A = this chain, B = another copy of it.
Amino acid sequence: MTAKKIKNMEEFSKVSGISRPTLSKYFHDPESVRKTTKAKVESALEEYDYRPNIFAINQNRKLTKTIGILVPYLADPFFAEIVRMIERQCIEAGFWPIVFSAHGERELENNALATLKSLRPAGALIAPMGRNSDLDVLRAFTDEVPTVVFDSNVAVGKAFVGSNNFQSIPLMVDYLCRTGEPPCFLEMPPVNPNANKRRDAYCMAMERLGHDPQVIQTAGGDWGFERIGLEEGVRLIDERSLPSDTILCSNDRLAIGLLAAAYQKGLRVGHGPGCALRIAGHDDHPWSRFTCPPLTTVSQDYRAIAERSVHILFGIMSGEDAEEERPEILFEGKLVMRASA
Contact = CB atoms under 8 A, between A and B. Distances in A.
Interface in A273-308: 286-287, 289-294
Interface size class of A (residues with CB under 8 A): 35 or more
A232 interface: no
Interface in A54-79: 54-56, 58-59, 74-75, 77
Interface in A77-110: 77, 80-81, 83-84, 87-88, 91, 96, 98-99, 101, 103, 108
29 contacts: A53-B59, A53-B118, A54-B115, A54-B118, A55-B58, A59-B59, A74-B74, A74-B83, A74-B84, A74-B99, A75-B80, A75-B81, A75-B84, A77-B80, A80-B80, A87-B101, A87-B103, A88-B103, A91-B108, A96-B115, A98-B98, A226-B287, A230-B290, A259-B290, A260-B291, A260-B294, A287-B287, A291-B291, A291-B292
Copies of this chain assembled into the complex: 2
A290 B256 contact: yes
Interface of A: 51, 53-56, 58-59, 74-75, 77, 80-81, 83-84, 87-88, 91, 96, 98-99, 101, 103, 108, 111, 114-115, 118-120, 226-227, 230, 256-257, 259-260, 263-264, 286-287, 289-294
A316 B73 CA distance: 30
A31 B108 CA distance: 23
A107 to B, nearest CB: 10
Contact of A99 (B99, B226, B286, B292): B99
Contact of A55 (B59, B98, B287): B59
A80 B81 CA distance: 11
A287 B77 CA distance: 11
A111 B108 CA distance: 27
Given A87-B103, A260-B292, A286 B55 contact: no
Contacts of A118: 51, 53-54
B256 A287 contact: yes
Kindly list the 3 A-B residue pairs having the minimum CB-CB distance in the complex, ordered from nearest: A75-B80, A263-B292, A55-B59
Contacts of A51: 114, 118
Q: Which of A55, A74, A80, A99 has the most CB of B within 10 A?
A: A55
Nearest to A82: B75
